[in-house]
Amino acid sequence: MKLLTRYLAREIYSSIALVFFALLMLFAFFDLLSELDDLGRGNYHVGKVLLYVLLTVPTRLYELFPVAILIGTIFALAQMAASSQLTIYRCSGVSLKQMILALFKISLPILVLSYLSGEFLAPTTERLAQTVRLEALSAEIKLREFRSGIWAKDEHNFVNIKNVLPDTTLLNISIYEFDKDYNLQSIISAKRASFVQEGLWQLNEATQTSFSPQGVVVNTLPGMEWRSALNLDILRVLLVGPNQMSAWNLYLYIQHLRDNQQKTVRYEIAMWNKLLYPFAVLVMILLALPFAAYRQREGGISAKIFSGIVLGLTFHFASQLFTNLGAINEWPAILSAIAMPTLFLMLATYMLYKTERH
C-alpha cells in the first residue's frame, strides 16, 4: 500500500501543479485585462500593472486550491483508470477505504501549503499589490510604515496614525500642521478619526496644541473637523479584505467590533471560512475518486475532466454566493461557511456509494 500511495502522490501532485499553472495563467490574464482601463493614469505604466498582477497571484493561488485539487486529482485518477491501473489495484485487494486513506495522506502537504498561503503569503502580497497600484495612481500622497505607526504627507502637514482598522477608522492619530515655510503651527492629537465625506474627517477626543510668538495654547475638544486629502481608497491599501486576512487577525478584529457593539457577521464568516478551508480541500479530493471509478463507457477522460471543471467552479462560485448571502441576511457564521463543503461531502458520499454498488 505504501508503494501505491507514493505512486498516487507523484501522479496527483504533478497533475495538480499543471492545473494550478493553467488556472493561474487564466485568472492572471483576466486580472491584467481588468487593469487596462487604468493603464496610463499617473505612474501606472505597464511595468506597474504587471507587478500588480504578479503580486495578486498568491491570493488567486489560495482561492483556487479546492478547484485545482479537484480537477488535478480527477485528471490523475482518470488517466490511471483509463490504463486499468486502478482496476489492477482493486483486484489486488486494495479496498475503497484504503484508497480514501491514501488520498487523505497525499492531501496533508497540500493542506499545509494552503494554510501557509492563506495565513502568511496571500495577505502580505495582496497588501503589497494594493500599495503598488494606489501609489502609482495617487502619487501625491505617500504612505510609509514605521514602528511609530503609519506616516502620511498631506500637503504641508504630516500625519501619524498608530492603527487603521479594516473599516478605515483611524486610531491614535497625530496631525502636525506646518506653514509654507515648514514652521510648525500646531499639533492635533485625537483618539479616533472617522471618514465623513471626500476631504473631510471627524476627530473625536481631540487635543490641539497651537504654537505662536505669544506662546503655546492647548485646547481640548470632544470633536472637531479635519480636512485632508487622505481618503478611504488610500487607507485601504494598508489592509486587505476579510477573505485575504489571516484567521488570527480576523479574530482580533471581531473582538474589537464586539467591544464597540458593531456587527461582526461578515468577519466571522471569513474567519470560519479560513478555519474550515482544509475541510473543503479534503472534500474535493474525496469527490474526485468516484469520477475515476466509473466505468469507461460512462465517459472518457475528457468528459470526466470537463465534469470536474464544472463541479469545481460551481463549488468556488457557490461558496462565494452563500458567503455573501450569509453576510447580508446575518445567518450564523459557521453555517454560512460550512454549508457548501457539507453539501459537496454529501454528494461525494452518495457517488462513492453508488460506485461501490455497481
**pLDDT value at 139 more than 50:** no
User: What is the rounded CA–CA span in Å between residue 205 and residue 219?
Assistant: 11
Q: What is the pLDDT of residue 297?
A: 47
Domain segments of the chain as ranges: 2-137+244-357, 143-229
Sign of the C-alpha dihedral, residues 197, 201, 205, 208? negative
Residues 273-307 have pLDDT tens digits of 999 998 888 899 888 888 766 445 445 677 777 88
pLDDT in tens, 321-357: 888 888 888 889 999 899 999 999 998 888 888 877 7
- Please write the tens of the pLDDT for every residue from 36-85: 888 888 788 999 999 999 999 999 999 899 989 988 998 888 888 777 77
Q: What is the largest CA-CA distance in the chain?
A: 97
Q: What is the mean pLDDT of the chain?
A: 84
Beta bridge partners of 216: 211
For residue 142, is pLDDT > 80?
Answer: no
According to the model, what pLDDT value does residue 79 have? Answer: 83
CA dist 181 and 201 (Å) reads: 25
| pLDDT tens, residue by residue, 180-226 | 888 899 999 999 999 898 889 999 999 999 998 888 999 998 999 99
pTM (predicted TM-score): 0.74
The region of weakest confidence among 65-69, 100-104, 131-135, 300-304 is 300-304
